[in-house]
Structure 1
Amino acid sequence: MTDTTDLTAVHAAIDALYDATQRLVRSVDTMTDDTWHGDSLLPGWTRAHLVAHLTLNAEGLAGSLEGLRQGRGVPMYPSAEARDHDIEELSGAAVPVVRDRLLGSVSRFADAVAAMDDQEWSRRIDRVPGGPTFRAAAVPAMRWREVEIHHVDLAVGYGHQDWPHAFAEATVDSMAARLADLSPGFRLLLTDAGRERDVGNVAPDAPVVRGSAADTARWLSGRGDGTGMSSEGGDLPQIGAW
């Protein structure tokens, strides 16, 4: 284990993820057959596609964590193409099949996380063979974002204003980090948290963007039209989808 592994943050994300997953499962359980095959908020994806993605994401992460404990590297996905193919295939399965597989996947993921020893969180995982890697310690927060953001994308009554404040703030930080090379950048002020930070390459005359943590997290993930956000000193920047 390296000194940079923040086990407190890892376990906090695990605890928050448990509650988020329970909310997601309850929403999925309310979906009728017609709802499953309706459009999600993601262009080109039905709700069945989203549930399939969440299922395969949990399976992939669980498999990687299981591999770490067995002393072998297991990529999250065999390839980017296989990931896309598997989502498409599973989305077309019967609703009870997809629902049961989702439940199985979240249980498998929870078991894989619970079995991790503290020193194992510092190891690295391949997203695909030979592709980018990430630390196992990042997995709980990664999955937390997948569950909360895509729960809103399902468009079944759970909105971004329902996100816990801690999640919204954490998502602002993670989404801002992915925009580190944005130029020109901007100054960001979270109006309900009293927090300010720079996003991207910020010049002295950079615009100041304001919004609540929830509205800002939604906007920085590339969703919505910026409702709830304001910009002083320039237009509201356009953010690509996460």
Structure 2
Amino acid sequence: MSGGTRTPADARAWADIGTRLLLDAVADLDEAAFAAPSALPDWTRKHLVAHVAANADALGNLVHWAATGEPTPMYASPGERAAGIARGPSLSAGELRSWLTGSAEQLAAALGRLTGEQWQHEVVTAQGRTVPATELAWMRAREVCVHAVDLSTGLTFADLPDGFLAALADEIRDRRRLTELPDGPLPEVTAWLAGRPHSLADAPRLGPWL
């Protein structure tokens, strides 16, 4: 399995698709549905949506860094990421939808304003990796696409773009240092790699990724 060359334009398109899938998935959720469990252990859908919204705000900090050269970490402190997630259950369905939509729109607009030179500026992720700003759209695409499935509203990895799945599978395989993959459809193999539910028979269990 090979995802070929992943371009920044690809990543931005996938981020847009994932964002739309996510927004559509939460559009009609009422308070009870928002409070229901997500596919992630110990997280309700409110926790998950708050995480994705806070992620957009955090990536916006890195876009600011790339645009201005002013070092701006994703999170101001080690506890800020956890605080954003914990904030979710205290917000209403409408407040969460507004935060999710607004933060996504602001991030997309900020990415769209970066110049060719600024896209090459290096920033440091929350994990301490130094990457060019061209990686930011890919980081966002992973978040919105995978977590759209994690909401457990009916979306599966088969609803995600094939190019995204191939790129994600390549990345996770490399990160996990796997030399062989089980046979099966690309969406199922990618779900397995990400530690999500899948239909592959006899595939060894992997822990969650992302």
Indicate whether the TM-score tops 0.5. Answer: yes
Matches within 5 A, 1:11-90: 11-90=9-88
Matches within 5 A, 1:102-113: 102-113=100-111
Partner of residue 152 from structure 1, selected from 139, 142, 149: 149
Kindly tell me the number of residue pairs found equivalent between the two proteins: 205
Q: List gaps (5 residues or longer) in structure 2.
A: none
For the residues of structure 1 that align with 2:156 and 2:128, how far apart are their CA atoms? Answer: 33
Give SS of 2:183's match.
strand
What is the deviation of 1:229? 4.7
What is the deviation of 1:67? 2.7
The structure with more helix, counted as a fraction of residues: 2
Matching residue of 2:120: 122
What is the deviation of 1:12? 1.7
RMSD: 1.9
In the alignment, is residue 187 of structure 1 matched against residue 193 of structure 2?
no
Matching residue of 2:208: 241
Contact 1:211 1:229 in 2 (8 A): no
Partner of residue 228 from structure 1, selected from 175, 197, 200: 200
Give SS of 1:103's match.
helix
Structure number with larger C-alpha Rg: 1
Instruction: Report which structure shows greater RCO (CA 8 Å, sep ≥6).
Output: 2
Q: List gaps (5 residues or longer) in structure 1.
A: 1-5, 189-208, 231-235
Matching residue of 1:177: 174
TM-score, normalization by structure 1: 0.79
For the residues of structure 1 that align with 2:117 and 2:20, how far apart are their CA atoms? Answer: 28
Matching residue of 1:143: 140
For the residues of structure 1 that align with 2:105 and 2:119, how far apart are their CA atoms? Answer: 19
Letter in 1 for 2:59: L
Contact 1:91 1:98 in 2 (8 A): no
What is the deviation of 1:146? 0.7
Letter in 2 for 1:228: L
Give SS of 2:7's match.
helix
Give SS of 1:16's match.
helix
Matching residue of 1:218: 191
